[in-house]
Chain A
Amino acid sequence: MRAPRQRAVRRFVLTPLVDVIFLLVIFFALSSRIAPFGLIPVTGHGVAAGDRPSGVAAPAPAAGPEPEATLVLSRGSVRIDARRLPLGDLAAEAARLEAEGIETVLVVTARSASAEDVAAALDALRGAGIAAVRLIAGPGGGADPS
């Protein structure tokens, strides 16, 4: 920037504006998440009897018919009746269940299951159109880190 020679022409100075904008960019870049999130509604859930922390009232059981199929969820795989299949194949299996007329499913999480497995299973069931899912922590799965 050179000083004006003849008259004191006041030029519009951009530098402070740029500084502020740059700070704003840094702020938003650091403090916002731009990843797309998916939302999976969880309808009925309960806690297995042994896992409930003392002093917490038992959640009301989800109203509805008895579950017609039971899925036992462990890390990366799911067991339906006696068959164990990888979690990636659950979508096709859920579509088959739905075609058989099964509308309510009980999902029991084993000890090794993680939140990722729960999300994948609920997503597959929802994708197949099975809306009534009850989610229950299985016995022995109640290792409570807190």
Chain B
Amino acid sequence: MIADRPRLGGTVLRRRGRRPRADAAIPTINVVFLLLLFFLVAGTLAAPEEADIDPAHVGTGAGERLPRPLLSIARDGSLGLNGKALSREALAGAVAALRRPEEGRGATLYVLPARDLPASTLVAILGEAAAAGAATTLVVMKTGQRDAGASP
């Protein structure tokens, strides 16, 4: 009914061509486009198994994107290097192959452990990666408040 009014006025004024009505879906499209831009700018592509890992939470530190090369360790100790499953035996070879392209001494390997992975497994894997010649960096999730130290 409200929409009738301008059309009525238009007929009274004898406007030539009818002004092309903007598509009603355009506001929706705008929002969807903004969503797309948001995910493009703020997100980092992650392999499904990396997305499944719940990393350790730490209260401080600067927010970073998910770095590469990324070694993910699930809570059962299974490994994935950049999203590809990796056996524990193949770890040393894969780490050694990582440093090959840049010819530098020791590429940095980013390790994303699940938060409830046993620390002994984590330390063992870190030790193997270091023995294969990589500098290692733990990847944790940054939270606003410090809740990491709360006793269970």
Contacts and interface: CB of A to CB of B under 8 A. Distances in A.
A4 B126 CA distance: 68
Contacts of B44: 32-34
A123 interface: yes
B120 A142 contact: yes
A28 B66 contact: no
A22 B148 CA distance: 38
B139 interface: yes
Interface stretch (A51-59, A63-71, A96-104): A51-59
A15 to B, nearest CB: 8
Contacts of B63: 36-38
- Dominant SS among interface residues on chain A: mixed
- Dominant SS among interface residues on chain B: mixed
Contacts of B128: 47, 56, 59
Interface string A77-91: 100000000111110
B46 A32 contact: yes
A136 interface: yes
A87 B126 CA distance: 22
A3 interface: no
Q: Which 9 A-B pairs have the closest CB atoms?
A: A36-B63, A88-B149, A32-B43, A38-B61, A28-B39, A87-B149, A109-B119, A113-B119, A141-B120
Given A21-B32, A42-B111, A118-B56, 16 more contacts: A28-B36, A34-B39, A36-B64, A37-B65, A37-B66, A41-B137, A46-B127, A56-B92, A76-B150, A111-B120, A114-B118, A114-B119, A116-B115, A118-B119, A124-B149, A142-B124
Interface of B: 20, 23, 25-26, 28-29, 32-33, 35-36, 39-40, 42-46, 48, 50-51, 55-67, 73, 76-78, 88, 92, 110-111, 113-124, 126-128, 130-131, 135-142, 146, 148-152
24 contacts: A14-B23, A14-B25, A18-B25, A21-B32, A25-B35, A28-B40, A29-B35, A35-B141, A37-B140, A38-B61, A38-B142, A39-B61, A42-B136, A42-B137, A42-B138, A86-B150, A86-B151, A88-B150, A119-B113, A119-B138, A141-B120, A144-B77, A145-B76, A145-B118
